[in-house]
Structure 1
């Protein structure tokens, strides 16, 4: 039985502090993609608050385990189309986190907290410490999915941990800077190829100005859907919009048989080497 899944990436330019406008735009684009048959939607990093709200992170944070109009709106959309929506927001718990999460017709399915923080994110957010795998159920099949966020696309270890746990798709909600577009282009394809997974790299576009240091941040856009061979299936440049592609999940197993990187990986040796490196750096 074929495992076919239509997925969509939403790309737009969220405006700092304009949560309702950002939500409305995300919902509009997601609705259009769902009308084209998408069953899995990925939004950019911090799609609701936008990225440069570091002077008001607490104000724009969400407790993902409590009722909130934004979460309700995503759930309603997911319910109407029997779809899954991956979003990213500032999460409020005992600390603040840069988090990605999955919404389905029942509400919150799961949360991933960003581990590798970029620049002043280290002052804004606490680090996550887990690489969870999420199981998505469709009519005729199930699939395993992992999440990473933005800067983490350059850390091959995270994607490898997810692939070793069976991930067939890895999603990267992102706010990746235009100055490092070359990293985005290369690393996204590398993560797909070396793990034999589909990579859904959903980036934002546009610019924002930080109210703390008055720095203008310009984002790369170039959201892309990549197959397990590292080939780009669909890509959007810097404009606002969305892309939709149908994935044949059987390609994951085929590619892993053709290039058995995961099977041939010597985990025991890697563990020994990492232990020695850790011990040596403590001396």
Structure 2
């Protein structure tokens, strides 16, 4: 039996306060690792804050630089605890900006996923990603395949389907989901787990930030949760800072997919035909 302990971190990043945000992220990540977590997930734009439109370029990170001083404290924790940390930041690459989730290992940035479906004003801030990669995390006696999505993308079932068809056993969504649409968060996250027959981890932030674009505060929902392949919530946080730490039984993925055969019965030939017939 293959088991891996995973922790999802929920906290309130402050706009523009990278140093303070990193200190808080390191604090909660270390706490999760001390509890035995081998995979730790941080919220969307954990290091910069979400409402930082006027300084996106300045706050962007070069994720091709594995020796980034900004990420060094988290990479060091990966080394010490032999764990993986999944984070999300503004990525700057050749003067283009992306909303990017990435995996840190003891060697640096293992891989990254650029958000494809941008929400609202994000369309003006970031470029769209173009790929759905699946990443293999190696442990002493087993491997686990994970797929990444970001926040708003929890509502796009085809993204989750592309990842699971490539073998993803855990779908991970760093997020900055607001209170106003938290009902979407609750329903869609469970639906993605059930239809995909895999674990879903939704790492949301809490607190609030002032948005100059909206000229008002955005209240973030919190309610970070870890969901099993049956669509059942294993553990859920409230509206305050904290960590959710759960041991995942990876054999449950295979068992659920054999019990509820959505993936096996999916007509890929028809799907390809129908997608091809749609006008862009």
Q: Where on the TM-score scale, by shorter chain, does this alignment land: which range? A: over 0.9
| TM-score of the pair, normalised by structure 1 | 0.97
Equivalent runs, 1:211-230 vs 2, <5 Å = 211-230=212-231
Q: Considering only aligned residues, what root-mean-square deviation do their CA atoms show, in Å?
A: 0.8
Render the CA deviation track for 1:52-82: whole Å, top value 9, x for unaligned: 0001000100001123222111110111100
- The structural deviation recorded for 1:277 is 2.1
Q: Show structure 2 runs of 5+ residues with no match.
A: none
Q: Provide the residue aligned with 2:145 in structure 1.
A: 144
Render the CA deviation track for 1:186-205: whole Å, top value 9, x for unaligned: 00000000000100100000
Q: Provide the residue aligned with 2:208 in structure 1.
A: 207
Matches of 1:169 and 1:84, distance apart in 2:
14
Equivalent runs, 1:77-88 vs 2, <5 Å = 77-88=77-88
Q: Provide the residue aligned with 1:69 in structure 2.
A: 69
Render the CA deviation track for 1:209-233: whole Å, top value 9, x for unaligned: 0134422111110000000000000
Give the match's secondary structure for 2:212.
Answer: coil
Matched, 1:41 2:65: no
* Structure 1 segments of 4+ aligned residues over 6 angstroms from their partners: none
Q: Provide the residue aligned with 1:128 in structure 2.
A: 129
Give the length in aligned residue pairs. Answer: 278
- The structural deviation recorded for 1:32 is 0.7
Render the CA deviation track for 1:207-258: whole Å, top value 9, x for unaligned: 1001344221111100000000000001101010101000000000000000
The question of whether the paired residues in 2 share the 8 Å contact of 1:42 and 1:202 is answered with yes
Give the match's secondary structure for 1:108.
Answer: strand
The question of whether the paired residues in 2 share the 8 Å contact of 1:55 and 1:212 is answered with no
Q: Show structure 1 runs of 5+ residues with no match.
A: none
Q: Provide the residue aligned with 1:20 in structure 2.
A: 19
Render the CA deviation track for 1:10-51: whole Å, top value 9, x for unaligned: 000000000010010011011111111000000000000010
Equivalent runs, 1:52-63 vs 2, <5 Å = 52-63=51-62
| TM-score of the pair, normalised by structure 2 | 0.98
Matches of 1:166 and 1:213, distance apart in 2:
40
The question of whether the paired residues in 2 share the 8 Å contact of 1:164 and 1:262 is answered with yes
